[in-house]
Amino acid sequence: MKAKMILPALMDKADPYFRPIKYALFAPLGLASLAGYFSESDEVELQDENVEELRLNDDPELVVIQVYITSAYRAYALADHYRRRGAHVCLGGLHVTSMPQEAAAHADTIFLGPGEDMLGVFLDDFRNGRPQKIYRSTVRSLVGVPLARRDLIKRGLYMVPNTVAVSRGCPHHCDFCYKDAFYQGGSGFYSRQVSDVLDEIRMLPGRYLFFVDDHLFGNPALAGELMQGLRPMGRLWQAGGTVQSVLTDGLMEQAAAAGLRTLFIGFETLSDENLRGVHKLQNLKTDYSQAVRRLHDLGIMVHGSFVFGMDQDDESVFDRTVDWAVEQGLEAATFHILTPYPGTPLFGRFQEQGRITSNNWSDFDTRHVVFKPARMSAAALEAGYWRAYERFYKWGSIFQAARTKETFRQRLRHVAYAAGWKKAEPVWNLLIRAGMLGKMATVMESILSSFGGEYASRESLFLRPAAVI
């Protein structure tokens, strides 16, 4: 069978805000994972429209498309195109699970939830000439799933080709998160076996890894096992975790010793009332500053994520948040406008209150206001969001944040990291055009390995046990 898998463009490349480097960061791991269910005799191709031109004059028998909310319209157009050419089109992913009826109008088969327990079943049905219209995931296990087909990934097109997923979902239940909507009907947090993950990592070239898990430390026992296995490999990596996990005794020390160099943390808001309002309860009664200090003491850089527009936010939230982030010496920050994704409790609440103002999915990119904010106008929210980015990444702020670091080396790393991400855009664009992005992984590895390694060698730290989060 000839099959084609497509990750449609998440954003129109003609949009003035399109940043080629952002979309060339990570390879389409979800589709590569699902490709493992095809058999050896199948001819499978994977195209990622974010980094390459799609070839649209081909005639695969089967087309599998991953649909995110911001790529929904593009995904539907591609689906319609291939159905007209006679292919059987499958749509799955986060947005299909939230809006199944909408997606079904463009597909022969839709999939609700994670694909691991469904794609194999579908392929058997398809081969036997009786594919169903809809498959719904209920079995939640990653034990024995096939390895991701990394051979289908064009590594040279990505800055971080070595992405790894240990788990799916997250143990928490924030109202604005896609998670509970996507994993309904089964467990919302489950993991692969650590030995399988370590085997997979051993096969990855280079040194640098990025764990795409929502919360790599959500199961501390398993995270501890992973750290122990990773440590002798000498890898360098980034991951996402919670404030709570940072404050858990011993966990970050183990992670630092195993090669963690940057942690992405969802601080979301500095207001407890906001946290309660969106049920991000795990962040309550945690000391954000202590968490940042702890990571910095271990030589781990902090990439903080913040959401603007929660019900307690007025126009003072932007400056307050940026000032805090700079004072803490965060190396990087991502700001989002609160976005009620369909299917989430937040969407349900706003809909009931008549506060949803847009049904144009392309605007659900956390850069546009798609609801009526409680304490400011939509225009003020959008303007404040852009101002926050501008203020956080201006040279003055970068140097001010770098000055919070103790040593010259740490300050230098801070400036290199923050400026490398936001100030070197033209250089990234040049490298992308020259097809040289893949080479940057080596440069990044050498920057990361020359800083922070001193902490990894503190044997005693590594041996402290991790408590339960």
- C-beta closer to ligand SF4: residue 266 or 373: 266
Compute CA distances 451 → 56, 246, 353, whole Å: 45, 20, 50
Strands 189-191 and 167-169: antiparallel
Given 174, 258, 401, 456, the residue binding ligand SF4 (CB under 6 A): 174
x/- binding map, residues 127-166, to ligand B12, per CB under 6 A? ------------------------------------x-x-
- C-beta closer to ligand SF4: residue 111 or 217: 217
CA angle 311, 315, 320 (to 5 degrees): 95
What does 174 interact with, of ligand B12, ligand SF4, none (CB < 5 to 8 A by kind)? ligand SF4
Given 74, 95, 140, 179, the residue binding ligand SF4 (CB under 6 A): 179
x/- binding map, residues 185-214, to ligand B12, per CB under 6 A? ---------------------------xxx
What does 329 interact with, of ligand SF4, ligand B12, none (CB < 5 to 8 A by kind)? none
x/- binding map, residues 119-158, to ligand SF4, per CB under 6 A? ----------------------------------------
Rounded CA gap, 458 and 350, in Å?
A: 49
Q: Site for ligand B12 (CB under 6 A): how many residues?
A: 40
Q: What SS3 class is residue 35?
A: helix
- Could you tell me which residues are beta bridge partners of residue 169? 189
Alpha helix (H) ranges present in 135-258? Answer: 179-182, 194-202, 220-230, 243-246, 251-257
* Residues within window 266-295 making contact with ligand SF4, judged by CB under 6 A: 266
Please state the φ and ψ torsions of residue 229, each to the nearest 5 degrees. Answer: -70, -35
Rule CB under 6 A: is residue 168 a binding residue for ligand SF4? no
Other Cβ atoms closer than 10 A to 111: 26
| Amino acid present at 54 | L
What does 165 interact with, of ligand B12, ligand SF4, none (CB < 5 to 8 A by kind)? ligand B12
* Residues within window 209-248 making contact with ligand SF4, judged by CB under 6 A: 214-215, 242
The sheet with strand 88-92 has its strands ordered as 43-48, 2-7, 62-66, 88-92, 109-112, 134-136
Stretch that binds ligand SF4, among 74-82, 169-177, 292-300, 385-393 (CB under 6 A): 169-177
Stretch that binds ligand SF4, among 2-10, 166-174, 342-350, 364-372 (CB under 6 A): 166-174
Alpha helix (H) ranges present in 278-316? Answer: 288-297
Rounded CA gap, 113 and 123, in Å?
A: 17
Give the orientation angle of helix 317-328 with respect to helix 288-297, to 10 degrees.
Answer: 30
Compute CA distances 329 → 41, 290, 293, 339, 453, whole Å: 53, 12, 9, 27, 19
> Which run of H or E residues covers position 385?
helix 378-392
x/- binding map, residues 359-398, to ligand B12, per CB under 6 A? ------xxx-------------------------------
Locate tokens 């986060």: which residue? 94
- For the CB of residue 188, give the shortest distance to ligand SF4 in the complex, in Å: 8
What does 266 interact with, of ligand B12, ligand SF4, none (CB < 5 to 8 A by kind)? ligand SF4
- Could you tell me which residues are beta bridge partners of residue 210? 163, 238
Please state the φ and ψ torsions of residue 389, each to the nearest 5 degrees. Answer: -60, -45
* Residues within window 312-341 making contact with ligand B12, judged by CB under 6 A: 336, 341
- C-beta closer to ligand SF4: residue 238 or 397: 238
Other Cβ atoms closer than 10 A to 380: 16
Given 21, 63, 90, 177, the residue binding ligand SF4 (CB under 6 A): 177
Rule CB under 6 A: is residue 76 a binding residue for ligand B12? no
- Is-contact 332 418, C-beta < 8 A? yes
Rounded CA gap, 168 and 142, in Å?
A: 9
x/- binding map, residues 10-39, to ligand B12, per CB under 6 A? xx----------xx-xx-xxx--xx-----
Stretch that binds ligand SF4, among 129-137, 174-182, 405-413, 437-445 (CB under 6 A): 174-182
Other Cβ atoms closer than 10 A to 116: 21
> Which run of H or E residues covers position 415?
helix 408-422
- For the CB of residue 37, give the shortest distance to ligand B12 in the complex, in Å: 9
- C-beta closer to ligand SF4: residue 79 or 94: 94
Stretch that binds ligand B12, among 92-100, 222-230, 294-302, 448-456 (CB under 6 A): 92-100
Compute CA distances 152 → 37, 149, 156, 209, whole Å: 13, 6, 12, 18
- For the CB of residue 217, give the shortest distance to ligand SF4 in the complex, in Å: 11
Q: Which residues bind ligand B12 (CB under 6 A)?
A: 7, 10-11, 22-23, 25-26, 28-30, 33-34, 64, 66, 68-70, 90, 92-94, 111, 114-116, 118-119, 163, 165, 168, 177-178, 212-214, 336, 341, 365-367
Q: Which residues bind ligand SF4 (CB under 6 A)?
A: 170, 172-174, 177, 179, 214-215, 242, 266
